[in-house]
Amino acid sequence: MGRKLAFIGLGVMGYPMAGHLAAAGHQVTVYNRTATTAERWTRNHEGQRAATPAEAAREADVVFACVGNDDHLRSVTLGPNGAFGAMKKGAVFVDHTTASAAIARELHDAARERGLHFLDAPVSGGQAGAENGTLTVMVGGDREPFEQAEGLIHHFARYVKLLGPAGSGQLAKMVNQICIAGVVQGLAEALHFAEQAGLDAAAVVDVISKGAAQSWQMDNRAQTMIENKFDFGFAVDWMRKDLGIALDEARRNGAHLPLAALVDQFYGEVQALGGNRWDTSSLIARLRALSARPSTTVADR
């Protein structure tokens, strides 16, 4: 018999993550703000649904969550029907939301006051990683609850690491998103340059991907960028949320992020093109749109 678990938030990430826990033989109770999604999950997996986060969390040894932002997270933990008010002493709350380090520290302290444990554990790998059980998980919090939850997290992750005290997971996710923003912008500019120069962009990628220019983005997104296809996972709206969190944190800690700030503006221009739900590789669409304008100059770009 598996452990009693809860999963709060069944979006494109949480839905398959909860499914992996159920497939591993654990007793999973799910909660989702849109009840029909939770109903669909219970039709497809062994488990049950709850009407509130508190109901889902009441008997669970470990409660997982993957919701939208700081406000959603505060609501499902500390709200009138929040999980913290119902969890049993010593239970662990594992938050996979990409949120601020400040909310992670706040909830870590609030959990400790109630005799609970809290881990901030944002993920990288996108929808495909969640579906395939190959996510990377960056964790902040205390060692003891991490050791209680680590084996469970491995049901949907290929790599999990405790990086430091509360908030460390969220800070590491900010580092992740800063890296991705720069790499995708560089790849977009390179492919756009190849196209403008009259090169066979796919052939060029085939060559340079064997050398120092190689990256995950090049291996997985270059061809779809060339084909102007942007329906492959992590949306521009979500990336702007994440970059906004990183830029806010940088203002607090004194870090200088000129490239991240610039790419965030570029994503704003992609949104203006109607690309809110396009994936993050759609930065190249902005460059193509600029080139299509009759009087575009290098300075305009």
| Residue positions annotated with a catalytic role | 173
Cβ atoms within 10 Å of 232's Cβ, excluding its own: 17
Of 169, 180, 183, 154, the closest CA to residue 123 belongs to 169
The backbone torsions φ and ψ at residue 18, rounded to the nearest 5 degrees and listed phi first, read -60, -35
13 within 8 A of 123, measured Cβ to Cβ: yes
Phi-psi region of 133 (alpha: psi -120 to 50; beta: other; left: phi over 0): left
Q: Where are the beta strands (DSSP E) in 85-199?
A: 92-95, 117-120, 123-124, 135-140, 157-164
β-pairing verdict for 135-140 and 123-124: antiparallel
154 within 8 A of 160, measured Cβ to Cβ: yes
CA-based end-to-end distance of the chain: 59
Indicate the SS3 state at residue 301.
coil
Structure tokens at 83: 């999980």
93 within 8 A of 119, measured Cβ to Cβ: yes
Of 110, 100, 123, 131, the closest CA to residue 246 belongs to 100
